[in-house]
Structure 1
């Protein structure tokens, strides 16, 4: 009986120790569950997400904002698990990334639209762009295709009828001004404006360089642009409560008011 009693006591002690250990390991996990790490590009996406962070904090959600200066790393970081979500890209861009990288990132919410514009530091209208002028364009396939469609909408070129979302200068069938297209990193186009005659610039990079899409562009997409931006996540994380809370806060009246008041129509809420 003594041995049985000793054995029973030992088992109870072990069970209590396991319970204590379990309790200690659960505490950090609970804290982590109140944090979400979100990647954004510098500029308006960063500013909006910082406002989301502020509003979310009052509701018990910690948003860790990670800022990138290109369009490649935010998706790579999401795939590798270094981010829980990102907010910087359009639907065609995400689809192209998934196809090229055999990834399975998914759209969890539409956010805002940034109308892409054509800018020039030398000329004030499309008519002034000279014959043989140098036209800057993004070098990543999706933004390049979008930019070339913008040049087409402006009447500067004509693309093949079957030119898709990833059109390239090789798809140009009419070029009355004989423009020479120079491909650059999207983030560098605004900084390189003095070395080209005209350039297509994404709104976030234009604003970061001090340009107003509303007053400084000589041609721009309209408000019904199909290039809405999205929050993306891994498929297995799309129903995460923290992610759903992030979306709810992003679409709050407080954040919408911030967008309307701070970007003067250059960034359009699209939910």
Structure 2
């Protein structure tokens, strides 16, 4: 742990990413206590203060119905981080199992599983998510499902490439000689060597998952009003540029910060875990 912090501290950009992620997570978790107007995360209107520019009372201005944008961004971080955590709690295990089986077993198992992965990877991720959301009702649960379905093949491809190279290593051959089961070799011998790459990719993917989720909301296919979401806030304010610039600029900067933070942190984690580029 001490070595990890030393490596992180030696890389200023990774340290900045770590600080950004910690601050964003802290703001999301404690949003009810930090937000100046905690009731503005729902169906609240205040037409006397609608569409106000940034001021001492409203640091990032107010939206078209008078809700404080800063408060709504803090609550939107809860939605974005929660969605990212759910997706990355489901997609990596599914992809890892598929990649391990295909990479170690080989033969017809490899052919069937990897052709299935190729089918999913042949479709642009956002297009696949939009297609699913066009059929399903636009809710947070369905948005999570859509992003998860498009995300697991990338982990399958990553783990497959590692497992395929590891299956010829001496420790795997030794395990086979002593009669270890295929399950033991795949999940107890090969999987630990895949974990650094998986963890690094998960950190990097957190930002990309949030971008995809925000893109769905921007198109009206994700989280629905009045629930605060960064993508829908950007979409709502885009119609009033450049006059009411704060409606779009601040939610857009919020997306930029979270993606920037997780990407920089992912680079640092790659260095800590010794994962090759």
- Whether TM-score is above 0.5 comes out as no
Structure number, greater radius of gyration? 1
The normalised TM-score by structure 1 is 0.29
